[in-house]
């Protein structure tokens, strides 16, 4: 996540004290370029996400369709995650230190949003599986009420994760003190119990999400090959589920790449570490949260023309009717 960068770079700085002035200057220049690129990409997709969120609440048909309700939940979570990450990134870039309870609140929001996304992707994959494999029962099983219940369960599971980590944190640090370093997940959840719980919980979430996505993809693919009609619809659903699996993998990598960088900091120079971080950040952190707008904004025939109008500044034409 974005707010891990400065902590990783500081660790690299302690390990690499004999860096020449030229290399330090080049590293600083590259950081400025990559920071500008990262913030620019983030702001661009935030604009796209806000337009798409507006569209999903501008037409009654989107508010009454389970698939679009799930899409709104996923898009809202990804947007909130990008906002939180960008805020923490800017706080670190400007070297602003916070009270531990303020930092803990911001990190808790990021953790909450981080878990909702993979669970929502699992539910969306399951919805596509039911739509293709049990089309006659889809209307009875995938109702607006059941969709709302599924979303509530997703947020409850994620909220329980944050609550447990918060209780561990309260018993581990003095929340009234200032942060000694930049606000990051690493400095907030240092307790051994928190680390073990975090690793176990993430493994459980991604194992469940991955299993649901794989089984859904296999089921949809088999139906697409054997169906005598609606092969195009089943094939499209299979591609959507496959994209969900790719997104799950990217989100998983985004949760562990800071640990990989900390290990690499012991064997590579500072310049290489900066390049690796920014590459990881763009491809795994940003893209994993921007896939939603690309998958549905461009592939959904109902949403695409509205999204293009919205991006061109014609929001007034999208007002609820």
Better-predicted residue by pLDDT, 31 or 101: 101
Model confidence, pTM: 0.82
Q: Which of 29-33, 61-65, 147-151, 207-211 has the highest mean pLDDT?
A: 147-151
Residue 216 pLDDT > 80: yes
**Mean of the pLDDT values across residues 107-128?**
88
Among 9-13, 150-154, 310-314, top mean pLDDT goes to: 150-154
pLDDT, average across residues 8-16: 41
> Which residues is 129 bridged to in the sheet?
none
- Cβ atoms of 199 and 161 within 8 Å: the answer is no
Quick one: what percent of the chain has pLDDT higher than 70? 73
Using DSSP's 3-state secondary structure scheme, residue 266 falls into coil
pLDDT of residue 201: 86
Q: Total domain count for the chain? A: 1
**pLDDT averaged over every residue in the chain:** 77
Q: Decide if 124 is inside a domain.
A: yes
Give domain status of residue 31, yes or no: yes
Residue 319 resides in a domain: no
pLDDT value of position 321: 52
The residue range of the domain holding 142 is 2-12+23-314
The H or E element spanning position 127 is helix 100-133
The answer to whether 179 and 104 have CB atoms below 8 angstroms apart is: no
Q: What is the pLDDT of residues 159-182, one digit of tens each?
A: 998 888 888 777 666 655 666 666
Is 282 part of a structural domain of the chain?
A: yes
Higher per-residue pLDDT: 160 or 11: 160
As given in the structure block, the two tokens for residue 25 are: 């200057």
* pLDDT at 197 exceeding the cut of 50: yes
User: What is the spatial distance between Cα 241 and Cα 152, in angstroms, rounded to a whole number?
Assistant: 22
Residue closest to 287 by CA, chosen among 314, 261, 249, 256: 249
**Residue 17 in domain:** no
Residue 238 included in any domain = yes
Q: pLDDT-based confidence at 1, cuts 50/70/90?
A: very low
Q: How far apart are CA 117 and CA 119, in angstroms?
A: 5
Length of the chain: 321
Burial code of 159-180, b = ≥16 C-beta within 10 A, e = fewer?
A: eebbeebbebbeeebebeeebe
CA distance 76 to 154: 14
Return d(Cα 284, Cα 293) in angstroms, integer.
16
Whether residue 158 lies inside any domain: the answer is yes
Specify the CATH number for the domain of residue 261.
1.20.1070.10
């Amino acid at each position: 996540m974005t707010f891990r960068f400065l902590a990783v770079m500081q660790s690299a700085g302690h390990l690499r004290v004999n860096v020449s002035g030229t290399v330090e200057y080049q590293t600083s220049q590259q950081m400025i370029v990559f920071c500008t690129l990262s913030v620019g990409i983030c702001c661009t997709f935030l604009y796209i996400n806000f337009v798409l969120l507006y569209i999903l609440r501008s037409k009654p048909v989107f508010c009454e369709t389970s698939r679009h309700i799930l899409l709104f939940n996923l898009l809202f979570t990804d947007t909130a995650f990008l906002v939180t990450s960008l805020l923490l990134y800017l706080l670190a870039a400007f070297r602003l230190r916070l009270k531990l309870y303020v930092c803990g609140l911001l990190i808790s929001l990021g953790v909450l949003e981080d878990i909702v996304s993979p669970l929502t992707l699992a539910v969306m994959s399951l919805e596509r599986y039911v739509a293709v494999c049990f089309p006659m029962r889809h209307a009875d099983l995938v109702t607006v009420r059941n969709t709302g219940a599924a979303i509530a369960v997703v947020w409850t599971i994620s909220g329980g994760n944050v609550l447990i980590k918060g209780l561990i944190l309260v018993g581990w640090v003095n929340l009234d003190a200032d942060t000694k370093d930049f606000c990051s997940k690493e400095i907030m959840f240092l307790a051994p119990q928190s680390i073990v719980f975090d690793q176990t919980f993430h493994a459980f979430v991604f194992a469940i999400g991955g299993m649901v996505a794989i089984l859904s993809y296999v089921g949809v693919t088999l139906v697409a090959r054997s169906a005598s009609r609606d092969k195009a619809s089943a094939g499209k659903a299979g591609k959507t589920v496959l994209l969900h699996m790719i997104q799950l993998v990217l989100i998983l990598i985004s949760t562990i790449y800071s640990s990989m960088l900390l290990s690499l900091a012991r064997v590579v120079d500072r310049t290489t570490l900066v390049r690796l971080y920014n590459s990881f950040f763009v491809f795994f952190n940003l893209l994993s949260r921007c896939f939603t707008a690309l998958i549905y904004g461009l592939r959904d025939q109902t949403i695409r023309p509205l999204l293009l109008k919205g991006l061109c500044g014609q929001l007034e034409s999208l007002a609820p009717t």
